[in-house]
Amino acid sequence: MSASQAAKKQGGLAGVIAGESAICTCGLGNGLNYYGYAIEDLARNCDFEEVAFLLQYGELPTSKELESYKEKIIASRALNENLKAVLRAIPKTAHPMNLMQSAVAALGSLEPESDDFKDQDEKIIRLLGVLPSVLCYWHHYANFGREIDFNSAQKSIAGYFLEKLELQAPSDEFIKAMHCSLVLYAEHEFNASTFTARICASTKSDIFSSVAAAIGALRGPLHGGANEAAMHLIEGFSSVEAAIDGVNKKLENKELLMGFGHRIYGTGGDPRNALIKVWSKKLGGDTLLFKVSEAIENLMKEKKPNLPPNADFYSASAYYFMGIPTDYFTPIFIMSRVSGWCAHIKEQRANNKLIRPSSTYIGPEPRNFIKITQR
């Protein structure tokens, strides 16, 4: 059997139960729940910080707890001079996902977690506060040579990020849409990046290394990078007709349609899609881009009913309608998913066992060694 045949047989660990977790159910009855709360309830009613608190501590906050949590996140926004220097050294040609990963790795050196992990909750709050600042500071410095400050009257991560990106106050509608998207992206069971974070944490590594590793896994277009790839797909069509024609051709050529399909949800569909679609429609329902998106969705429903759109498909247009550059779609995913990764890192640490599976060997039989001079 060839290596590729073997990999196909193993199927990317599809269907393998790789551990226990109390954080999230994904795909049970097609639903998505964080600590037992339905994603529909959370997305329609909660600011992202409420959900981040839930993921960090296992319970929804009271108003007082939420207020204090938000204050701590706000106090964690500023970058110190060393981190700024790291960011200034990264050129504008860098992929923002690599930038974010470098910043998190640098934080591990500049503000290390203690060896006994007693400060892990503080570090989680630091990450929640600082990640929007990292992206916005670098965006303005790399592109325009200007340094931004981190003062803002915006109390939420959603509002703060939008304000610092544009350097002007965002509309309430954009802030609400951003909250919804951050809530939807916050947690998703043993997806590739979360599992990466857990593997790293299982070696008793620090929280910054675990999050940096997870960012690497999130970057790829089969995972978090799909929202950017979906945007490229949608904006590549200049009319509904061109979209129908183009998608048909892609299907004939057996190309992947980015933003469709999901390992866990399968035919039932990703419950996050309908929730973010509401916002995409509200923000840009009368635009060609939205009409093209719906045309692609409808065509896929007809031609590939087993491949419904996932959360990334309408997140792409929702972000576009908020004026966010496409390269920043997946970094926004980080700002949200860091809450889920850290919940899993805490859970892994609380009952740790090194994650170290085995493989089926398909290499050569044992053979005689020949010295380099005789080969």
Residues at the interface with ligand CMC (CB under 6 A): 12, 14, 191, 222-224, 226, 256-263, 307, 310-312
Minimal distance, residue 303 CB to ligand CMC, in Å: 10
- The CA distance from 331 to 100, in Å, is 7
Would you call 139 a catalytic residue per the annotation? no
Q: Which residue is nearest to ligand CMC, using beta carbons?
A: 261
**Per annotation, catalytic residue among 47, 206, 312, 344:** 312
Minimal distance, residue 196 CB to ligand CMC, in Å: 12
Cβ partners under 8 Å of residue 60, min gap 6: 37, 46, 50, 53, 54
**Per annotation, catalytic residue among 95, 121, 223, 327:** 223
Contact yes or no for 79/133 (Cβ under 8 A):
yes
Nearer to ligand CMC, 14 or 17 (CB): 14
Minimal distance, residue 22 CB to ligand CMC, in Å: 20
How many residues are listed for the chain in this entry?
375
Would you call 223 a catalytic residue per the annotation? yes
Nearer to ligand CMC, 136 or 307 (CB): 307
Q: Other C-beta atoms within 10 Å of 209: how many?
A: 17
Q: At what angle do helices 329-350 and 226-235 cross, to 10 degrees?
A: 160
Minimal distance, residue 44 CB to ligand CMC, in Å: 21
Nearer to ligand CMC, 90 or 222 (CB): 222
**Per annotation, catalytic residue among 206, 262, 270, 344:** 262
Nearer to ligand CMC, 14 or 370 (CB): 14
Nearer to ligand CMC, 130 or 257 (CB): 257
CA R_g for the chain: 22
The phi, psi pair for 31, rounded to 5°, reads: -90, 170
Q: What is the DSSP letter of 260?
A: B
Strand order in the sheet with 24-28: 24-28, 31-34, 37-38
- The CA distance from 332 to 353, in Å, is 31
Would you call 179 a catalytic residue per the annotation? no
Query: Comparing C-alpha atoms, which of 7, 38, 19 is closest to residue 197?
Result: 19
Minimal distance, residue 225 CB to ligand CMC, in Å: 8
Contact yes or no for 157/145 (Cβ under 8 A):
no
Q: Which residue type, as a one-letter code, is found at position 196?
A: T
Catalytic residue positions, numbered: 223, 262, 312
